[in-house]
Amino acid sequence: MTDLPQLPFARAGVLEPPPQLLELQAEGPIVRVRTQMGDEAWLVTRYDEVRDLFADPRLGRSHPNPEQAARVTNSVIMSGAIADDNEDANHAMMRAMLMPAFSPRRMRVMRPHIQQIVDTIIDGLLADGGPVDLHERLSVPLPVLVICALLGVPYEDRDDFRAWSDAVGDTADGARSAAGWENLGAYMKGLIHRKRTEPGDDLISDLVAEYGDQVGDDELALLGSGLLFAGHETTMVRIDIGTLLFLTNPGQREAFLQDEKLAASAIEEVLRRSMTGGGGLLRYAREDMDIAGTKVAAGDAVLLASSGANHDERVFADAVHFDIARTPNQHLTFGHGSRYCIGANLARLELQIVFDALLRRIPTLRLAVPVEELKLRINQLGGGIVAVPVTW
C-alpha cells in the first residue's frame, strides 16, 4: 500500500488547523491522500484552487459507477458518490425551492425570535450561575430551536432528532450513521404527511403546498432531513469555536465590545477560523482534468479543503491569528459559486445575535478550565468540541 498522508489529520489543539494540512499546503496546492476509509483521493489545500473548483462544472457529487467510487468516511452524508444523472438540474431545483426560506426578508422576520431565544437562554445561565457547559446550555439548543421554528419541527421531538443527527454524522460507524439517516427520513416523512392536513407557517408546509404535487414525499423528506442535520450541527460547532476564540483573545473581545462597526467582520473571522471535522468537501471529477499542473482522472475523488484554504497565508496574512477587523475576508466556509451554502444568511444572523448578547451581558465570561483540556469531537463529520465549561 502506497505511503500517503492519512485522513483525518491530527490536531495540535481545538483552535489550530492540523499541522500536516499546513505542511502539505506549503508543498503544493494538490496532494494525493488516503481517506478514513482507506481509499485514495486528491486533497486540494490552497485558496485559489479551492475557490475555482467550488464553481467548476467538471466536478460533482455523482459518479457513473457509485459502488466503484472512492469512499471518504462511513457517514451517509459524506461517504461516497451518489447516482444522479440530472445532478445539476436537481440541485438548481432544490435551491429554487429553498431560496425564499433563507431570503433577507425572512431573516429580518426571524431576528426577533432568535433574539428572544438567546436572551432566554442567557437569563437562565445568569440565574443558575457558573460554571456551566456552554456547549450544552447554548450552542446545542439555540440552533435546534431556530431550525425547528424554520422547518416546523416540534421542539419536543428535539432529543430524538438530535440523537439521530449525531448518529448520521458518525464518520466511523457506518451502520449507526445509516440507521440515524433512516430514522431521520422516516420522521420527516411523517411530518410531511401531517403538514398536508395541518399546515403551519413554516418551510415544510410551504414546500408541501408549493411543490407537493410535483415532488414526492421521499424527495421532500430527503431535503428536510438534510436541512435539519446541517441547520443545527454546523452552527452549534461555530458557536463553540467562536466563544473560545473570543475568550482566548481578550484584546479582540474588547475591540468587539468597544466598536459596534466590527460586528459583521467579527462574524466573518469566526467563520474563517472555524475548523471542520473532515478533510474537505467531497467531489468527483466528471472528466479528465488538470488541477494546478496535476492530472486528475475522470471518476477520481477530489476533496476541497475549505479549512485549509481559509488558513492560506497567500491570501490571509498571519492566518492563524484571530483578527476581527480583518479585511478583505473572502473565506470559503460557505463554499463559492452555484453551490454557495443556502443557509449562510441564517448562520450569520444566529452568530451575530449570540456573540453580541453573550459578550455584552456576561462581560466577565471566562473558561472554567484551561483551553488545553478541551476535547475535540472525534469521528464526527462537523467536528467541534465535546464541552465548553465557562464561568463568570
Number of domains in the chain: 1
The pLDDT value recorded for residue 77 is: 84
- In this prediction, what percent of the chain has a pLDDT beyond 90? 80
In a domain, 146, yes or no: yes
Q: Is residue 12 part of a domain?
A: no
b/e code 205-225 from CB counts within 10 Å (16+ = b): bbbbeebeeebebebbbbbbb
Q: What is the pLDDT of residue 278?
A: 67
| Distance of alpha carbon 118 from alpha carbon 141, whole angstroms | 10
Alpha-carbon span 390 to 392, nearest angstrom: 7
Cell numbers found for residue 265? 467582520
Please give the pLDDT value at position 235. 95
Q: Tell me if the bond preceding 8 is cis, omega within 30° of 0.
A: yes
pLDDT at 74 over 70: yes
pLDDT, residue 346, reads: 96
For the ranges 94-108, 257-271, 317-331, the lowest mean pLDDT is seen at 94-108
CA distance 326 to 380: 30
Distance CA 302, CA 284 (A): 6
Position 229 pLDDT exceeds 70: yes
In a domain, 3, yes or no: no
Residues 6+ apart with CB under 8 A from 72: 7, 35, 36, 37, 39, 41, 78, 79, 80, 278, 279, 282, 301, 303
Mean pLDDT of 374-378: 94
Which three three-digit cell numbers place residue 225? 432531513
Query: Amino acid identity, residue 183?
Result: N
Residue 251 falls inside a structural domain? yes
Question: Is 289 within a domain?
Answer: yes
Cα dihedral sign, 154-155-158-159: negative
Q: Would you say residue 222 has pLDDT above 70?
A: yes
- Confidence band of 87 (pLDDT split at 50, 70, 90): confident
Q: What are the cell numbers at 39?
A: 481509499
Q: 57-61, 146-150, 278-282: lowest mean pLDDT where?
A: 278-282
For residue 13, is it within any domain? Answer: no
Q: Tell me: pLDDT of 231 over 60.
A: yes
**Kindly report the CA angle at 159 between 104 and 136, in degrees rounded to 5?**
75
> What is the C-alpha separation between 159 and 257, in angstroms, rounded?
35
What confidence score (pLDDT) does residue 277 get? 67
Among 229, 234, 284, which residue's Cα sits nearest to residue 72? 284
Q: In terms of Cα–Cα distance, which of 284, 267, 259 is closest to 81? A: 284
Predicted local confidence at residue 230, as pLDDT: 86
How far apart (Å, rounded) are the C-alpha atoms in residues 248 and 377?
20
CB distance 321 to 79 below 8 Å = no
**pLDDT class of 179 with cuts at 50, 70, 90:** very high
Given a cut of 90, whether residue 354 has pLDDT beyond it is yes
Instruction: Indicate if the pLDDT at residue 350 is higher than 80.
Output: yes
Locate 148 and state its grid cell.
425547528
Amino acid 228: pLDDT? 87
Given pLDDT bands bounded at 50, 70 and 90, which one contains residue 347?
very high
Range of the domain at 369: 19-391
- Is residue 14 in some structural domain? no
Q: Calculate mean pLDDT across residues 371-387.
A: 93
pLDDT at 161: 85
* Residue entry with cell 467531489: 283
Q: How far is CA 33 from the centre of its chain?
A: 22
Calculate the CA dihedral of residues 81, 83, 86, 88 and round it to 10 degrees: -10
Phi/psi for 367 (5° steps) reads: -70, 140
CATH number at residue 272: 1.10.630.10
The amino acid present at 84, given as its one-letter code, is D
148, pLDDT greater than 80: yes
Residue 98: inside a domain: yes
For residue 91, name the pLDDT band (cuts at 50, 70, 90): confident
Contacts of 40 (CB under 8 A, 6+ apart): 2, 4, 32, 33, 34, 70, 301
The pLDDT of residue 1 is: 46
For the residues of 318-354, what is the DSSP string, one character each? Answer: TTTS--TT-SS----TT--GGG--TTHHHHHHHHHHH
| Average of per-residue pLDDT across 18-26 | 96
C-alpha span between 6 and 33 (Å, rounded): 6
pTM: 0.95
